[in-house]
């Protein structure tokens, strides 16, 4: 690995150097060999990753110099003041084989000065969910952190009861959050300008080093592209605080996230989100709100109000354009006004009758190509559900006729089927799947975790290792929120 711990070159006020707190008897639950190959020129290195992820400082290469970042943020719409890495350490930064800077961040590494009332550890439950969830999003083509591996240990931690601690080694192109800038603006404004220009140079090197306006615009546009992709695959982040969004537009901090199963845009997937602030349908608006808070910090650099307004307009335009392009592809049509109308109408059908989001889109391939038994079964289920809904069958048949008529005038059947299969996965990480992997891990059985990892590595392909429950829609009354306990 080619190490370049850029963050250590920044002002020491931005972090706290410290060792990790080793876990007792760490055992690998899973290791991401494919991700490792993108980071290292050697398929076999001398690093004992089990011990590294188990927070054993003695196993850290000399290039590892752990630190906990400090930042601030707005949480659930309220200013939360100083926050920071309460159970994570940035071990090092490396260049991957594409020459892109990547962070190795150990989650569950013990207490830091920013732990507040926490113990700095992580549960098996949340560790398994992040490991599989970040991998699933990455394989779906959504910019996301990923993880090199995760361990379970014999270290006891108290949650609602005594449980065993786990840890995960997260890999992300950026851990610099909107909240970093908020912290500087409030607590160290004299460092704000220097930090901003350093972040431009590190993460947006193609922008002129003094063009702060363009930096703001690009961050807003990348955030918009990310949230559009979330909406298209049905991902609900669950905790879109300003300290949980970074400046490169990469999914970060998998807390109580959820993939949309039965399509209910107002479904609350975070047990602690009592007012539904962070539901799927609110994500575009919350992204805009978070960026407003972030942009306001740049008054320190005399950025004009008109520039900030232009950046927010760029956010809205980029998000709408990206989503509209993607939603047309999901129904196999090129983007035009008729395709958009058909796409939004189909989404309306899913919402009205609470149909399975992923399966319903994938079933469209069977309308045009009868070669896939799995898609034919999805279509049969979709037809059966709509037959038993008031006006469902009539609306569905009317939509089908107009969709096929428009397709004949705009694209070929082969191109349409190809678009549908390339943009609509067969497999997503449903809550029941994650729960099966978690239950296995609690019993030191990691076979289901390994199977799901392999399944989610090729989410657009029908696979023989799949079981029926991997694509079975959750009953609408069983879509329960996930606890934020970690």
Enzyme catalytic residues:
243
DSSP assignment string, 241-276: -GGG-BSS--B---SS-EE--B--TT---BTT-TT-
Q: Are 104 and 93 within 8 A, CB to CB?
A: yes
* Residue from 333, 425, 378 nearest 142 by CA: 425
For 306, the enclosing helix (H) or strand (E) is helix 305-330
For 152, the enclosing helix (H) or strand (E) is strand 146-158
Determine the Cα–Cα distance for residues 355 and 341; give it in Å rounded to an integer. 19
For 216, the enclosing helix (H) or strand (E) is helix 212-233
Strand 67-69 versus strand 15-17 pairing type: antiparallel
Please enumerate in sequence order all residues whose Cβ is within 8 A of that of 304, keeping only pairs 6 or more positions apart, or say none: none
* Residue from 365, 440, 460 nearest 136 by CA: 460
Strand 78-82 versus strand 67-69 pairing type: unpaired
Q: Are 107 and 132 within 8 A, CB to CB?
A: no
Alpha carbon separation from 33 to 40, 42, 437 (Å, rounded): 10, 12, 19
Number of H helices, E strands in the chain: 16, 13
Q: Which two three-digit tokens encode residue 278?
A: 């962070």
Strand partners, 28: 151
For 402, the enclosing helix (H) or strand (E) is helix 392-410
**Cβ atoms < 10 Å from Cβ of 15:** 22
Q: Which two three-digit tokens encode residue 246?
A: 């970074």
* Residue from 27, 55, 76 nearest 119 by CA: 55
Q: Cα-atom radius of gyration of the chain, to the nearest Å?
A: 23
Alpha carbon separation from 119 to 155, 216, 307 (Å, rounded): 12, 36, 42
Determine the Cα–Cα distance for residues 196 and 222; give it in Å rounded to an integer. 17
């Amino acid at each position: 690995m080619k190490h370049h711990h850029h963050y250590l070159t920044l002002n020491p006020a931005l972090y706290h150097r410290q060792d990790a707190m080793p876990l007792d008897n760490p055992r690998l639950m899973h290791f991401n060999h494919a991700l490792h190959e993108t980071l290292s020129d050697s398929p076999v290195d001398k690093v004992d990753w089990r011990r590294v992820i188990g927070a054993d400082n003695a196993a850290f290469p000399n290039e590892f110099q752990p630190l906990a970042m400090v930042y601030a943020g707005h949480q659930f719409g309220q200013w939360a003041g100083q926050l920071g890495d309460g159970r994570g350490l940035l071990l090092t930064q490396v260049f991957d084989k594409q020459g892109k800077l990547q962070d190795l961040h150990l989650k569950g590494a013990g207490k830091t000065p920013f732990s507040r009332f926490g113990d700095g550890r992580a549960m098996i439950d949340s560790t398994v969910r992040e490991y599989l969830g970040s991998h699933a999003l990455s394989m779906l083509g959504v910019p996301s952190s990923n993880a090199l591996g995760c361990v379970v240990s014999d270290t006891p931690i108290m949650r609602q009861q005594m449980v065993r601690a786990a840890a995960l080694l997260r890999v992300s192109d950026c851990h610099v959050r909107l909240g970093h800038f908020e912290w500087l603006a409030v607590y160290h404004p004299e460092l704000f300008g220097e930090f901003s220009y350093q972040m431009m140079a590190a993460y947006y090197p193609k922008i002129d080093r003094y063009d702060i306006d363009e930096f703001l615009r690009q961050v807003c546009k990348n955030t918009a592209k990310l949230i559009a992709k979330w909406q298209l695959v049905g991902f609900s982040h669950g905790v879109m605080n300003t300290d949980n969004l970074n400046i490169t537009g990469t999914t970060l901090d998998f807390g109580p996230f959820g993939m949309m199963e039965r399509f209910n845009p107002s479904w609350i997937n975070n047990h602690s989100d009592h007012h539904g602030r962070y539901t799927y349908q609110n994500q575009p608006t919350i992204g805009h709100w978070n960026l407003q808070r972030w942009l306001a910090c740049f008054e320190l650099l005399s950025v004009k109000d008109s520039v900030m307004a232009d950046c927010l307009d760029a956010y809205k335009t980029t998000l709408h354009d990206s989503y509209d392009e993607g939603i047309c592809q999901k129904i196999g049509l090129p983007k035009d006004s008729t395709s958009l109308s058909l796409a939004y109408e189909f989404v309306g059908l899913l919402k009205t009758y609470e149909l399975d989001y992923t399966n319903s889109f994938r079933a469209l391939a069977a309308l045009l190509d009868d070669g896939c038994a799995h898609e034919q079964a999805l279509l049969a289920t979709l037809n059966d559900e709509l037959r038993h809904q008031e006006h469902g069958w009539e609306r569905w048949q009317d939509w089908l006729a107009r969709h096929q008529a428009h397709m004949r005038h705009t694209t070929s059947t082969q191109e349409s089927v190809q678009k549908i299969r390339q943009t609509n996965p067969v497999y997503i990480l449903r809550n029941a799947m994650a729960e099966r992997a978690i239950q296995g891990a609690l019993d030191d059985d990691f076979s289901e975790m390994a199977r799901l990892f392999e399944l989610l590595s090729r989410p657009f392909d029908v696979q023989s290792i799949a079981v029926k429950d991997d694509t079975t829609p959750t009953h609408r009354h069983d879509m329960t929120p996930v606890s934020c306990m970690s």
